[in-house]
Amino acid sequence: MHFLLFWRRREVMKKTVSESRVYKSSRIFPPDLNSHGTLFGGKLLADMDMLASIAATRHARLECVTVSMDTVEFLHPITEEDSIHYEAFVIWTGKSSMEVFVKVTAEHLLTGANRIAATCFISFVALLEGKPRQVPGIEPETEGERQLNELARKRAQKRMDRKVTSKNLAEILTKL
């Protein structure tokens, strides 16, 4: 009974964006680079997904799984002379889903010059015993967070539309 009351209270709760915010910094080394001398994109994506999963789990306080990576933008190359700084936070919630914004900033270690190197929106679903569970709502605190939240609502609808298209395509491909 106590467990059910906990979940009912949780359903009406809202959390601020800052409650899920996560940071990570790391240095780039030769094994991280591709044949062009820039950070391998797959490594960057894996790190973005890892950090975003921490933000989603922090928000939901439940296990979370990645559903999609939307609008990944590689804006500037990252080289061995850079350190990279990740920032991730939940910007939108549905019933059991969350969208996490990830920003990657590269800093040239010798000059101190900074640039936004990549951004990404990653969607997660919270699970309890393998089934989707409702997550707390999100309360944007700043104008930037409100803008990200509003844009996320539009992306959520597009994701639902894409999912239907992808399922139809998968059905067609299984018949080939």
Query: 140: which 2 tokens?
Result: 């944007």
What band does 10 get if pLDDT is binned at 50, 70 and 90?
very low
CA 70 from centroid of its chain's CA atoms: 9
Nearest in space to 132 (alpha carbons), one of 81, 49, 78, 65 = 65
111 vs 9, more confident? 111
Residue-wise pLDDT for 88-97, tens only, equals: 999 999 999 9
Class of the CATH domain delimited by 2-174: alpha beta
Helix (H) or strand (E) segment spanning residue 73? strand 63-74
Phi-psi region of 58 (alpha: psi -120 to 50; beta: other; left: phi over 0): alpha
pLDDT digits (tens, 9 = 90+) for 46-87: 999 999 999 999 999 999 999 999 889 999 999 999 999 999
Q: Which of 36, 53, 61 is nearest to 89 (CA)?
A: 53
Length, in residues, of the chain: 176
Q: What global pTM score does this model have?
A: 0.86
**Which residue in 20, 28, 95, 99 sits closest to 59, CA to CA?**
20
Strands 63-74 and 114-128: antiparallel
Strands 82-93 and 97-108: antiparallel
* Domain positions in the chain: 2-174
